[in-house]
Amino acid sequence: MIIKHTLLSNDLYGDLNQKDWPISIDDLPPESALVGGSVRDSLLNKLSPKPDLDFVIPINAIKFSENLSKKINATFIKLDEKRDIARLVINGWTLDFARQVGENLKDDLLRRDFRINAIAIKLKEKPEIYDPMGGMDDLKSKKIVAISKKNLLDDPLRLLRGFRLMCELDFELEEKTKGFLKNNVEKLNNVAPERIKMEILKIVHSKWNSSVWQTYSELQLLKNWNDYNLDYTELKRKDIASKNPLFGSFFAKLIFLLSDEGLSRLTFSKNEIKRCKNLRLWVQKINNLDLDDFSEDQRFQLHVDLEEDLPSFILFLKQIHADPWLERWKDPSDPLFHPSSPLDGHVLQKIFRLPPGPLLGDLIRHLSKEKAYGRFFTDSEALEVARKWTLENSPFL
Give the number of C-alpha atoms closer than 13 A to the C-alpha of residue 197, restricted to the C-beta side.
Answer: 12
Average pLDDT rounded to a whole number, residues 176-182: 97
Convert the pLDDT of each residue in 97-133 to its tens digit. 999 999 999 999 999 999 999 999 999 877 889 999 9
Closest CA relative to residue 232, chosen from 315, 323, 321: 315
Residue type at 136 in one-letter notation: M
What proportion of the chain, given as a percentage, has pLDDT over 70? 92
Would you call 228 exposed, middle or buried from its count of C-beta atoms within 10 A (0-12, 13-18, 19+)? middle
Q: What is the CATH number of domain 1-141?
A: 3.30.460.10
In three-state secondary structure terms, 203 is helix
Bridge-based pairing of strands 53-57 and 93-99 is parallel
Better-predicted residue by pLDDT, 280 or 5: 280
In three-state secondary structure terms, 128 is strand
Check whether 22 has a pLDDT greater than 50: yes
Average pLDDT rounded to a whole number, residues 274-297: 93
Closest CA relative to residue 16, chosen from 123, 108, 114: 123
- In angstroms, the Cα distances linking 373 to 17, 303, 365, 377, 390 are 57, 12, 13, 10, 20
What residue spans define the domains of the chain?
Answer: 1-141, 345-393
Closest CA relative to residue 309, chosen from 363, 265, 253: 253
Question: How long is the chain?
Answer: 397
Check whether 6 has a pLDDT greater than 60: no
